[in-house]
């Protein structure tokens, strides 16, 4: 019997290798729904991007209609949008107070986006903080912690192949993520993913 154990181990190892070669490529964990959800929306957005501003209300409406979570990632296009990185850092500061406050800040920035410039971004952030009874320190990110989080989200997007904003994925616990190429097709794409 001992002579057959190595042969059996080699045979089992070969079967495992063959099975893993035939299974579809693993999906990045960032493109899976949060624990407890079957379907979700994963969004990479730039707070200074006009298309992101237009897409945000549709994404929120889809989240409410389908009762699915939205996972938001900041993907500032710093060269094209001069205040987007600073706004993302502020959003991460507000995330540290609560994720809901951070997302409300992002929505607030989208609402006021046409009025915001590099020179008055802080005034808008101060007003948001006062309205939400949150203390916004003079130096928001003295240790660079929030900037590192923003950079990590941008790096994640680059790793996933994000090349524009917004990039929206409908993700499922069962299948591969589907990128929404046309925001007007968001609801149809969610239906298709749910019905897979």
Q: Pairing mode, if any, of strands 70-74 and 167-172?
A: unpaired
Domain assignment of residue 167, yes or no: yes
CA–CA separation, 62 and 190 (whole Å): 8
Burial of 36 (0-12, 13-18, 19+ CB in 10 A): exposed
Domain assignment of residue 3, yes or no: no
CA–CA separation, 52 and 44 (whole Å): 9
CA–CA separation, 80 and 49 (whole Å): 9
Domain assignment of residue 24, yes or no: no
Torsion sign over Cα 183, 165, 28, 91: negative
Q: Does residue 10 carry a pLDDT above 80?
A: no
Percent of all residues in the chain with a pLDDT value above 70, rounded to a whole number:
87
Domain assignment of residue 4, yes or no: no
Please report, to the nearest 10 degrees, the dihedral formed by the alpha carbons of residues 81, 87, 92, 96 taken in order. 180
Domain assignment of residue 86, yes or no: yes
Domain assignment of residue 10, yes or no: no
Residues sharing a CB contact under 8 Å with residue 48, sequence separation 6 or more, in sequence order: 76, 77, 81, 82, 83, 84, 87, 113, 116
Give the domain CATH number at 113.
3.40.30.10
Q: At 11, is the pLDDT very low, low, confident or very high (cuts 50, 70, 90)?
A: very low
Domain assignment of residue 143, yes or no: yes
Domain assignment of residue 19, yes or no: no
For 93-151, write each residue's pLDDT tens digit: 999 999 999 999 999 999 999 999 999 999 999 999 999 999 999 999 999 999 999 99
Full residue range of the structural domain in which residue 49 is found:
29-194
- The reported pLDDT for the residue numbered 18 is 37
Total of domains in the chain = 1
Average pLDDT of the chain, as a whole number: 90
| Total-model pTM | 0.85
């Amino acid at each position: 019997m001992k002579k057959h154990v190595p042969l059996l181990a080699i045979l089992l190892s070969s079967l495992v290798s063959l099975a893993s070669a035939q299974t579809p490529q693993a999906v990045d964990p960032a493109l899976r729904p949060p624990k407890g959800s079957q379907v979700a929306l994963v969004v990479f957005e730039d707070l200074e991007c006009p298309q992101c501003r237009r897409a945000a209300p549709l994404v929120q409406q889809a989240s409410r209609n389908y009762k699915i979570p939205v996972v938001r990632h900041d993907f500032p296009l710093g060269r094209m949008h001069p205040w987007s990185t600073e706004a993302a850092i502020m959003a991460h500061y507000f995330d540290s107070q609560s994720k809901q406050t951070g997302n409300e800040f992002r929505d607030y920035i989208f609402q006021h986006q046409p009025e915001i410039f590099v020179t008055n971004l802080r005034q808008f952030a101060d007003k948001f903080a006062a309205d939400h009874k949150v203390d916004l320190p003079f130096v928001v990110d003295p240790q660079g912690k929030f900037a590192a989080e923003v950079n990590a989200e941008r790096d994640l997007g680059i790793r996933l192949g994000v090349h524009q904003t917004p990039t929206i994925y409908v993700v499922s616990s069962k299948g591969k993520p589907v990128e929404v190429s046309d925001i007007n097709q968001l609801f149809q794409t969610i239906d298709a993913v749910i019905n897979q």
